[in-house]
Amino acid sequence: MMKIEPGKTRIGWIGTGVMGRWMCQHVMDRGFSAAVYNRTRDKAGPLLDAGAEWADSPRAVASVSDVIFTMVGFPKDVQEVYFEDRGVLAGAAAGSILVDMTTTRPSLAREIDQAAAQQGLHAVDAPVSGGDVGAREAKLSIMVGGDRSAVDAVMPLFEIMGQKIVHQGAAGSGQDTKMCNQIVIAGTMIGVCESLLYGYRAGLDLEVMLSSISGGAAACWSLDNLAPRVLRREFDSGFFVEHFIKDMGIALREARQMGIVLPGLALVHQMYLSVAANGGQRLGTQALMRTLEQMSNLQPDSE
């Protein structure tokens, strides 16, 4: 297995959006060269300005890289990036390590792992939690699945991007863990928004109220990071609603296949479908607050 070293190990990065841009930037800041690709080249601009090399396809990225990271939007995007003629598997040389950090189907992670092994490649699934703030500040939680030797090889790169990196087990287990993460977030998001709604109607000073409950049993990341955005009426930043809907849909499908029922998750999924139906697909997940306000006929100060 290769040894990861700045100046020697070539990094490839596919998907330079809200989170991928920062994750790749942190790696480059530690002395690694990077070849990058994004469907919209403009979004790769900051990385190109910082010295990254542009490649015109995922295949081209893979052909010049030792470790190839992917951070795209939806399972269909992952499928295309890896399996199409212009994809990663068509360009990667034997011994390369493929690291998908997209949140996608656990079954797809296992499919990539099997296809990679047939070509003498190594695959790791490593979805993350922490949102745009965690990516920008290199404080992500990274949930990792795959062969131990491959995971150990890329661990120095994970440690550049995140603060909590846990190897969960075989291929697909990182994605399964991310589903557990999203199920918890779904419950906490509706709790945070309903708490603010109740406090507003009760006439509380919401900042004072948050200062009390954020230090008790209700403490959570969403309360600390997203509740203040709601108070500032900042709904256009953060983890996109359309991506959260995708994640919850994956978890619900996986749950059905396991024969388990997740009624809480199903409820929140329906609530976010309503947010999207009202034009909120590209808003942050805290935009759930606006839908709850509408349901309660509340009209807070204009945004």
Question: Does the annotation mark 178 as catalytic?
Answer: yes
DSSP assignment string, 112-152? HHHHHHHTT-EEEE--EESHHHHHHTT-EEEEEEE-HHHHH
Looking only at the bridges linking them, the beta strands covering 140-146 and 128-129 are: antiparallel
Q: How many Å apart are CA 145 and CA 206, to the nearest integer?
A: 40
| Residue 298 phi, psi (nearest 5) | -100, 145
From the candidates 8, 76, 164, 178, which is the catalytic residue? Answer: 178
CB atoms under 10 Å from CB of 103, counted, come to 28
Say how many Å lie between the first and final Cα of the chain, rounded: 53
Which residues carry out catalysis? 178
